[in-house]
Amino acid sequence: MKQINAVLEGAGSMVMLLLRAGSYAGSLPRQWARFVEQCYLIGYTTLPIVTILSFFIGTVLALEAGYSMEGFGAKEFIGSLVGLSMARELGPMMTSVLLAGRVGSAITAELASMKVYHEVDALTTMNIPPAKILVLPRLAAVLVMMPVLIVFANIVGWFGGSVVARYVSSVGISSESYFAALRHYTKFKDVMNGMAKAEVFGFVVVLVCCNIGLNTRGGPREIGAAVTRAVVTSLILILILDYFVTKLLM
């Protein structure tokens, strides 16, 4: 019962935080500097790790597809498998997981420490809503940066697959054949589908991490626990939402 109450309390506070942040949407242009800073942290600094991860996801996909499809004589379809998998599923999901691990944890840690050290209380005392200056710029930044990260992840992943398809002898198909199959079966709507998913995942990750950070109670030890809780909750929500959003977008 206590667990259920905690889940419901967390869901309720998250919705309330979203509504409060949304009510200050008009103030976003005046927070341009904060918005750009968050874009830098969420997008620019996350790009290297997204690129590395996506490249190797593409390579592994092509390798596994080559191994599996060889028995069917269907190796020519590796491009389509990598293309669709990256665009529709792995690109958005793995980028969101990375976002939760790298950016979400940082957000929770920052907000939790501000809460623990009463900086949030000070802001409230000065009539500066935390949702306005701490949450809104992050939510806006993640909405802007996620599509950019996703398109990078997709292209790098596709390229990684083509490298394996061309240079690994057990796969051994030409780049032309790989990209022809990719182009033939992967449509731009699949890429858009993935971007829509990523927007939802990214938004939820940032919202959850902000909420858990702002609701941290106790001493400095709670900061670490809050970070762990935020990342775990984000990952679980990503996987649960993945099913429903995929179903919705089909």
Contact residues for another protein, defined by CB under 8 A: 33, 36-37, 39-40, 43-44, 47, 72-74, 144-145, 147-149, 151-152, 154-155, 183-184, 186-191
Q: Which residue, 45 or 170, has its beta carbon nearer to another protein?
A: 45
Rounded CA separation 101/113 (Å): 18
- Least distance CB 200 / another protein (angstroms): 18
Q: Which amino acid is at 124?
A: T
- Least distance CB 146 / another protein (angstroms): 10
- Least distance CB 162 / another protein (angstroms): 13
- Least distance CB 120 / another protein (angstroms): 24
Q: Which residue, 147 or 213, has its beta carbon nearer to another protein?
A: 147
Plot region of 172 (φ>0 → left; ψ -120 to 50 → alpha; else → beta)? left
Q: Which amino acid is at 231?
A: V
Q: Which residue, 17 or 66, has its beta carbon nearer to another protein?
A: 66
Angle made by CA atoms 95, 45, 214, in degrees to the nearest 5: 75
Rounded CA separation 75/77 (Å): 5
With H, G, I as helix, E, B as strand and everything else as coil, classify residue 56.
helix
Torsion of CA 102, 59, 151, 146, to 10 degrees: -20
Q: Which residue, 118 or 187, has its beta carbon nearer to another protein?
A: 187
Answer yes or no: are the C-beta atoms of 182 and 223 closer than 8 Å.
no
Q: Which residue, 69 or 235, has its beta carbon nearer to another protein?
A: 69
Q: Which residue, 13 or 51, has its beta carbon nearer to another protein?
A: 51
Residues 6+ apart with CB under 8 A from 234: 100, 104, 204, 205, 208, 209
Q: Which amino acid is at 78?
A: I
- Least distance CB 36 / another protein (angstroms): 5
Q: Which residue, 74 or 239, has its beta carbon nearer to another protein?
A: 74
- Least distance CB 42 / another protein (angstroms): 10
- Least distance CB 210 / another protein (angstroms): 20
The 10 Å Cβ neighbour count of residue 207 is 23
Q: Please count the helices (runs of H) and the strands (runs of E) in the chain.
A: 12, 0
